[in-house]
Amino acid sequence: MLIKMPIAKSAAVNNRTAKKSYMLAVALMSTSVMTGLSMSAQAAGLGELFGSNSAGQSKFLPVDKAFQVSPITKATAKGTRLSIVFDITPGHYVYKDQLTLRFPKGLSATPFTFSQSPVSINDPTFGQVPVFTQKNMVATTTLMTTNGKGARNAPIVIGWQGCAKAGLCYPPEKIKTTVNIGVTRK
C-alpha cells in the first residue's frame, strides 16, 4: 500500500532546497577530487572488503557462502508446513526479528517456531536483539487458506537478514518460492 502525504512547501522553499542539494554535491565532488580519491579507488576499497588479503583469504564471505537458506514444504492435515532451513557459517548470525513471510490475500500463517533458541546480542545497528548463531537452525510455520480450500502455486516471499560478527551486516535478503496448500481437514 502506498500512502501519499500532501506537501505544503512553496516553490521558493523547493528552489532553495534544490540549490542547497546542488551546492552540497559540488562540495562533495570537490573534496573527493582534492583528496585524490577516484571512483576506481573507492571501488577498490569495496573490492578489498570481499576480496583476498595477502594470505589469499577474503575478509568477508559473500552472502550465499555465509548463509545457505532452503525452504522445504510438507502437506499436513492443517495446511502446508513451511520449514526454512538456515545453515549458518561460524562467525555469522541471523536476526530472529528480520525473518518475515509475504503471501497473497486469502492465505494465513501460524507464528514461527524455531529449532534453536536465539541468543541476545547488543547489535550496533538494532541494539539488544535476538539472533541465531548456531550452525543449523530451522524456522517452521504452517500456511493455510482462509477459506479452507486449497491453493496451487501460491507465491511466498521469505525475508531475512544476517551479519558477520567481524562487523559486516548483509543487506536484507528475499527468497521467492511457490507452495501448494491442500484442503484443510478437520
Q: Which three cell numbers stand for residue 177?
A: 518460492
Q: Which residues neighbour 19 within 8 Å (Cβ) at sequence distance 6 or greater?
A: none
Give this prediction's pTM: 0.69
The CATH code that applies to domain 63-181 is 2.60.40.1250
Pairing of β 127-132 and β 107-109: unpaired
Residue 63 one-letter amino acid: V
Q: Which residue has the cell 536476526?
A: 95
In the prediction, which pLDDT does 159 show?
Answer: 98
Q: How far apart are CA 88 and CA 147, in angstroms?
A: 37
Convert the pLDDT of each residue in 92-123 to its tens digit. Answer: 999 999 999 999 999 999 999 999 999 999 98
Q: Look over the chain and give the mean of its residue pLDDT values, rounded to a whole number.
A: 77
Q: Which residue has the cell 500463517?
A: 109
Determine contact, residues 176/156, Cβ cutoff 8 Å.
Answer: yes
Indicate if the alpha-carbon torsion angle 150, 152, 157, 162 is positive or negative.
positive
